[in-house]
């Protein structure tokens, strides 16, 4: 976990690092381009884990614990005769992807074939959760998606977002934002902007099917859970995928700093002489001294003073109401305790 001082330094753009292709430290990873997957396993991940999830694990848990970040490949097809060739046990259900990754050139190679008559809505797809199955990542800083691929046919790349998943049950409560990618015989990089990432016609985001008035950018729907690459309804594709990444963002833009969430029933373990809970801040000093406790934004600017007074030697407890502070918007902050002989900080996420 990054220290609060380090977090604030990163937010103010004060850190410049030179990167190696492997064995990256958490501080280096947080500044790297937000590659979703490039099959290099540079963060200690295995073939069935994407780089994005591995980077989260490295940043939040330290080097060598990439697996804790989640984000694993899957393949799936309908219950009819659609198939995905090239992946482990390629049948009709979620399957492993490892055998489809070229061990030398490092790309994913799958052939997706969909049926035309055995089922009304046929499909074949490969995809992944960005981190874990229930977590949505905040892609506010993303300006688009870049894909490097080759092959034949056309695939649709779908971004599964929270507003779609939370749509009320009933008509048009299906579909996702996405874009069609026409594959070429030569390796090619295609970048689409947020405004070009649009809903499926007649779905929740485009009930009229006219392709107007809605997009990932227009709807302001940056909360992502999953990305899926698919063909459907009689379409086929031979896909070689080399890289997919978020444009205009680094890993640090996704909040991959492990922070406690200040909300109902949350509690933070005592560490470095300081703990933060929704209703109290506890800190320990070796000798009596004057102390102040401030709430800082991620640029290091004070947004609220929580305490000014004398601290006794030993444990000190200051009552607070972090989740109910007037004028404090939900978001990421830093609690800093400063004394003449003691300083400690903790990053927190205030959720009202």
The pLDDT tens digits of the residues spanning 258-276 come to 544 444 334 444 455 788 8
Q: What does the alpha-carbon distance between residue 130 and residue 53 come to, in Å, rounded to a whole number?
A: 6
Q: How many CA atoms lie within 13 A of 200 on its CB side?
A: 16
Instruction: Indicate if the pLDDT at residue 173 is higher than 60.
Output: no
pLDDT tens digits, one per residue of 1-43: 333 333 333 232 222 222 223 346 666 777 788 999 999 988 8
CATH (one of 3.90.1690, 2.60.40, 3.30.70, 2.40.10) for 261-350 = 2.60.40
Strand partners, 243: 148
Architecture of the domain whose range is 67-254: Sandwich (2.60)
**Contact between 315 and 270 (Cβ < 8 Å):** no
| Domains of the chain, residue spans | 67-254, 261-350
Percent of the chain scored above 90 by pLDDT? 27
136 to each of 85, 129, 237, how far by Cα in Å? 30, 9, 29
For the full predicted model, state whether its pTM sits above 0.75: no
Supply the pLDDT for residue 242: 96
Strand partners, 347: 334
Strand partners, 332: 349
């Amino acid at each position: 976990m990054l220290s609060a001082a380090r977090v604030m330094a990163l937010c103010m753009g004060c850190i410049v690092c030179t990167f190696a292709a492997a064995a990256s430290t958490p501080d280096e990873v947080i500044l790297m381009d937000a590659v979703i997957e490039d099959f290099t396993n540079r963060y200690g991940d295995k073939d069935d884990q994407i780089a994005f999830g591995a980077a989260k694990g490295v940043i939040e848990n330290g080097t060598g614990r990439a697996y804790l970040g989640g984000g694993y490949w899957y393949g799936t097809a309908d219950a009819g005769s659609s198939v995905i060739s090239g992946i482990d046990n390629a049948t009709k259900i979620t399957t492993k992807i490892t055998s489809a990754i070229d061990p030398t050139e490092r790309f994913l190679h799958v052939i997706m074939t969909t049926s035309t008559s055995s089922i009304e809505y046929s499909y074949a797809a490969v995809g992944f959760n960005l981190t874990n199955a229930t977590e949505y990542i905040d892609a506010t800083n993303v300006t688009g998606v870049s894909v490097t691929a080759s092959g034949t046919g056309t695939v649709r790349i779908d971004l599964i977002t929270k507003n779609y998943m939370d749509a009320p049950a009933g008509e048009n409560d299906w579909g996702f934002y996405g874009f069609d990618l026409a594959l070429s015989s030569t390796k090619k990089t295609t970048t689409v902007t947020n405004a070009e990432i649009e809903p499926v016609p007649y779905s929740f985001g485009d009930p009229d099917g006219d392709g107007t008035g809605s997009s990932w950018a227009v709807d302001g729907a940056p909360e992502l859970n999953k990305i899926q690459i698919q063909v459907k309804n009689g379409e086929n594709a031979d896909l070689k995928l080399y890289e997919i990444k978020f444009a205009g963002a680094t890993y640090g833009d996704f909040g991959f700093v492990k922070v406690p969430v200040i909300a109902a029933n949350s509690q933070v373990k005592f560490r470095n002489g300081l703990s933060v809970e929704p209703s109290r801040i506890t800190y320990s000093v070796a000798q009596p001294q004057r102390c102040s406790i401030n709430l800082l934004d991620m640029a290091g600017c004070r947004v609220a003073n929580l305490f000014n007074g004398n601290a006794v030697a030993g444990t000190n407890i200051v009552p607070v109401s972090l989740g109910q502070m007037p004028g404090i918007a939900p978001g990421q902050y830093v609690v800093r305790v400063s004394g003449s002989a003691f300083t400690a900080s903790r990053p927190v996420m205030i959720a009202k």
